[in-house]
Amino acid sequence: MEEHIAVGLAIRATRKGRMTLYELAERSGTSVGSLSQIENGRGNPSFALLKRIAAALHVDPSDFLSPVSPSATAVVRRERRPRGQAVGDGFDVELLTPDLAHDITVSRFVIDVGGERYSAESYAGEACIFLERGRLRLLFNDEDRIDLGPGDSVWFALPTRFRWRNTGKSPVEAISVFCPREL
C-alpha cells in the first residue's frame, strides 16, 4: 500500500466517531474536498497540513505516518503507552490500545481528588466506564446523575454531554472503552 493511502486511512479512522469531515476541515484550515481526497488515498498532504489535522484531532502527526493495521496484533508495553490524549486539570489518561485509529479505544484514566472534566460533544459512538478505585460522579446533559463506586460500570451512547467528577477522598482509577461511529 502506498504511504499516502495508509496516511489517509489513518486520518479517517482517527476522525471516525469524533467529528465530521466538515468539522475537521474547518478546524484544520483545509477544504472538505481536499480532506476527502486525502482520506480516500487520492491526495498527498504536506507535513504542515498533517500537523494541522493532527492538532485538530488532538493526536501526534506521527500517528498517521506509521498506522497499525486493524488486523494486526499489537502489544502496548506499560512504559510506552500513549499518554495525555485527553489530559485536563487533575485528569490523566493513557491509552491501552496502540492509538486512536481503530474501531475500539481502551484507556485508563486517573482523576485527582476534586478533579473534574467535561466531555467533548463531537464524539459519536458507545462508551463504557469500569471504576477500579474511588468515587466517580457522571452528570449527563446537566440533569441525569450517576454515582459509581469501585467495581461499578456504566454504558452510554454518545453524543451526549457529560461531566466526570471525583467525589471521593482518593484518586479515581478507571478503564474506559470507546467504540466510535460516523456522525
Is the pLDDT at 88 greater than 70, yes or no?
no
Instruction: Map out the domains of the chain with their CATH numbers.
Output: 3-65 (1.10.260.40), 78-180 (2.60.120.10)
The pLDDT > 90 percentage for the chain reads 29
**Residue 98: count of CB within 10 angstroms of its CB:** 19
What distance in Å separates the CA atoms of residue 101 and residue 53, rounded to the nearest whole number?
A: 14
Instruction: Give the pLDDT of residue 84.
Output: 64
- Out of 49-58, 66-75, 157-166, the most confident range is 49-58
Is the pLDDT at 87 greater than 50, yes or no?
no
Instruction: Give the pLDDT of residue 122.
Output: 63
Average pLDDT over residues 67-86: 67
Question: For residues 119 and 140, is the Cβ–Cβ distance under 8 A?
Answer: no
Asked, as a colleague might, if the bond just before 159 is cis with ω within 30 of 0, I would say: yes
* Alpha carbon distances (Å) from 43 to 5, 33, 35, 66, 101: 8, 10, 8, 17, 19
**Residue 93: count of CB within 10 angstroms of its CB:** 19
C-alpha cell of residue 15: 476522525
Instruction: Give the pLDDT of residue 65.
Output: 77
Average pLDDT over residues 35-47: 85
Residue 29 makes CB contacts below 8 A (sequence gap 6+) with 52
Give the global pTM: 0.66
Average pLDDT over residues 127-150: 92
Average pLDDT over all residues of the chain: 83
Instruction: Give the pLDDT of residue 182.
Output: 65
